[in-house]
Chain A
């Protein structure tokens, strides 16, 4: 089976007065239909930009985006409009991503209305069906965002994203603004929807326990580059890139009897403006050598396990 989404050498650069920001630099991966790929990394690593570029919220600088076997990198006009029905996004902050002057039904009905397929009672029925699907009580049909808590608002955002029956949804930190007990409700909803509708997700988050829970495979990003990608279980049991190792060991564990050994990496993320060639993690990496200043290549180190680190085999004794 061909993957639903293939991204090849995707680049997104932003020119600024201080230089060119390499927000996404040469990212390649593929994603099968009905699966969830988690994208993790720290703030500024380009994970949100990656999601937004894939669904054409902004044009890519270079590389290819292949959706359902078709090159959609440069689609425009009506083709783009059609593609938008297939690819949707759920935003991070349900407090600022909903229009405060639009009620629940206005928000969910807007894409339905724009599609021209629904009118009058059909529109209302479809809107109510979507509300039911995402678990919003029908009494909230005329409610406004300020009348609802964060969890319900996020459900409205999901309902709106589902209106056009998309096959692929970018979930950009959809639960990070929510409390733990509410977060679990929304994660369960997303997983149920995937099971029932066969959705494919790209799940962007900085929360590694969430990503472990919901994803089938994971991409770890650092400063615009993909440093490691493999199946979720494989990443959590056998991470090979030094950055992934540090990132995973930094998660505060709730297991008070078996404190894990933590790798605390020194320093901070460097600037993504006009970065030097070579590994961008090298400035903080305990294993960095001369060879790391040369451009790195994403290599299939183990079957299905890709790592971008020239010292990977040596460090992991492979």
Chain B
């Protein structure tokens, strides 16, 4: 990672550890990345790679009772978020940065109409009347393709795709500069996913919002992101532009991820799975966390800290083979 910090969003050495049943869960272990205005970064990785924890740490909505330790720095437009008092963070949340949650079925309040839920965020951040806020809510619903006539309906009256649109409308209601989308289409069918992705891309362009797209779907990354950070065991193990990652995947894990994917364009009879399982975050291996599954692992991989090496330009890779240019 270059020392140049983005003026917009800069995350440095983010660490989040939880405690669970007397053990320390090392969810995020030193994550750094930058994001420019209007850009989209994809955080890619499998279950338990720490993607959602990174998002929650940025929003400062980590569950207080289970967090053991956090450190690192997150600056948004020059303002350090990690040390901000909670009441100031509340001012930013929803306005400067907001989040689309993964599961639209559980992210909405079942006993409030959708317009009320959107208006709530609007009133919290803007000095407007109830009816003005409701008008804004209707405007947002129209923007995400839901007729304003349905503003007075409750979440259960909407389908999954429409609920996800409501969640998106809510996240965008106060024109945030940074939008964190946590698997926004995972719960949706492909034709609805296509609609939602198209809408997100349109809105991003219209409002020049910066976005962190969290997903495990490399296809979604290909369609929405400018840069990609591949996460594994709470670290970014490879980072680069979309072209870097898709054309020249370098880390053995990234390569494995692409190979494991059934490819629409080729008819190989067998897939190449990555052997083994992601490591237990309460008991991470020494050295490279991927080394127990890596076909190239040597003794050097199993000790010490693996540095982040530059492959070319902004493309970096946390693998000692990248340093030796064996890849």
A contact set with B: CB distance below 8 Å: 42-43, 149, 151, 179-185, 187-188, 191, 206, 208-210, 212-214, 233, 236, 246-247, 249-256, 259, 262, 264-266, 268-269
Contacts and interface: CB of A to CB of B under 8 A. Distances in A.
A184 B272 CA distance: 7
B1 interface: no
Interface in B34-49: 46-47
Contact of A209 (B194, B256, B263, B273): B263
B222 interface: yes
Contacts of A191: 269-270
A139 B29 CA distance: 32
Contacts, number: 111
A253 B263 CA distance: 9
B194 A250 contact: yes
A256 B242 contact: yes
B277 interface: yes
B306 interface: no
Nearest to B225: A256
Given A213-B271, A250-B190, A254-B246, 18 more contacts: A42-B189, A42-B192, A149-B277, A180-B257, A180-B261, A184-B274, A206-B190, A208-B264, A210-B262, A212-B262, A214-B262, A236-B264, A251-B190, A252-B193, A252-B220, A266-B195, A268-B161, A268-B162
Nearest to B264: A209
A43 B189 contact: yes
B189 A181 contact: no
Contacts of A184: 260-262, 271-274
Contacts of A250: 190-191, 193-194
Nearest to A150: B47
A233 B219 CA distance: 21
Contacts of A188: 270-271, 273
Contacts of A233: 267
Contacts of A151: 277
A161 B127 CA distance: 61
Interface string B266-282: 01011111100110000
A69 B189 CA distance: 37
Given A181-B257, A264-B198, A268-B162, A213 B190 contact: no
Interface in B152-206: 159-162, 189-195, 197-198
B263 to A, nearest CB: 7
Contacts of B191: 42, 246-247, 250, 264-265
A253 B260 contact: no
A183 B47 CA distance: 12
Interface string B230-264: 00000000000011001100000000111011111
A182 B47 CA distance: 11
A24 B217 CA distance: 30
B254 to A, nearest CB: 11
B265 interface: yes
- In this complex, which of A249, A252, A268 has the most chain B Cβ atoms within 10 angstroms of its Cβ? A252
Closest 3 CB pairs of A and B: A252-B219, A184-B273, A213-B262
